[in-house]
Structure 1
Amino acid sequence: MVFKLAFRSLIPLLACAVPLMANGEIYTWKDANGRTHFADQAPVGTDAKPVRGNIVPADTDQARNTPAPGSSASAPKDAKASGPKSWEEQDRDFKQRRAEQSEAETKAKKDKEAKAEKDKYCSSLRSNLAMLERGGRFSKPDTNGERNYLSEGQVKSEADDIRNRIAKDCK
């Protein structure tokens, strides 16, 4: 019982001590090579000086948006340009990427359909050529719709024409 009471009374004291521990000093010094160092403890045998004022790490937004002393008024604009994009810019970029993607998908679909059509056309040409090379009697309808039987010369001419179309269109 006494232990619980003592422990409960220590909790507020520990809570008050935590901020004091976080409020430590930072020391700066130069080494033999002239490089500046920072640490939370002063090294032994050096002329370390405590740093005064607010220290902002270089990678925070506050450090990025704070103009250097003596800089011109254009510095915040430069920081804004290199900083994160606004939601309007992000939305515009997203819509642009989506439009480009849609355009690419449409083009790919058209290319695929054109390739399928060409494959079908070439397959039909090859089939007709194989049929002509097998031989037999072939006919074509004339303007009146009647059958006109082809002579051997006409069959060879048709086969040559189909070979030329295959060579030209079906590479």
Structure 2
Amino acid sequence: MRKTLIVLLAVLAAGAAQAQVQCWTSKDGRRECGDTPPPGAKVREIRGAATPAPAAPASPATKGAAAKDAKRGPLTPAEQEQAFRKRQLDAEKAREADAKAQAEAAQKKETCERAREALRALESGVRIARTDAKGERYYLDESQVAAETARARQAEQRACN
């Protein structure tokens, strides 16, 4: 019994809390507030029912599309299915584009890392050996190392920027 009484009082209190509060000036010149003003009084609302904020004004194209949709009414199951499939295709294309972008980024990172490693090897001061057309090994002299280093720097700049 006590629980039902508490619930009933809570419901009544919630209803009273939602009432609008309005203020007006009485015939005596006093300011009075309440939920029901006298007839013909100039009323100023203090606390009213919560109203949602107005949405952003629609563009003319959106207004036309909305009016067109309103005239057509609800979508048929076939139209709903078609819209669903279109959304699926769009999502799949977006996933593919994202995967492609990630693969390109990974490839670029790897190319940059290789170019930096080649530049580090040339700048380390270790003797660099190459093989000629006959298959014989020869070592690069300082001018050849400088030229290779310049090419490696350019390659690193292209790959990493």
**Interval of TM-score (by shorter of Structure 1 and Structure 2):** 0.5 to 0.7
Out of 142, 151, 155, the position equivalent to 2:132 is 142
Q: Corresponding residue for 2:3?
A: none
- SS of 2:135's partner is coil
1:152 and 2:155 matched: no
TM-score (norm 2): 0.53
Q: Corresponding residue for 1:163?
A: 153
Deviation at 1:79, TM superposition (A): 7.7
Q: Corresponding residue for 1:110?
A: 100
- SS of 1:135's partner is coil
- Tell which structure's C-alpha radius of gyration is larger: 1
Deviation at 1:119, TM superposition (A): 0.7
1:91 and 2:105 matched: no
Deviation at 1:81, TM superposition (A): 4.0
**Superposed counterparts of 1:14-163, under 5 Å:** 81-163=71-153
CA distance in 2, matches of 1:123, 1:95: 42
Deviation at 1:133, TM superposition (A): 0.8
- SS of 1:143's partner is coil
Aligned length: 94
CA distance in 2, matches of 1:118, 1:146: 34
Name the CA shift for 1:127/1:79 in 2 (closer, same or farther; >3 Å): closer
Residue-by-residue CA offset, 1:34-70 (whole Å, 9 max, x unaligned) = xxxxxxxxxxxxxxxxxxxxxxxxxxxxxxxxxxxxx
Q: Is there any run of 5+ residues in structure 1 with no aligned partner, and where?
A: 1-77
Q: Corresponding residue for 1:62?
A: none
One-letter code of the match for 1:90? Q
CA distance in 2, matches of 1:93, 1:146: 68
TM-score (norm 1): 0.50
Name the CA shift for 1:135/1:98 in 2 (closer, same or farther; >3 Å): same
CA distance in 1, matches of 2:153, 2:69: 67
Deviation at 1:112, TM superposition (A): 0.9
- Identity in percent: 31
- SS of 1:140's partner is strand
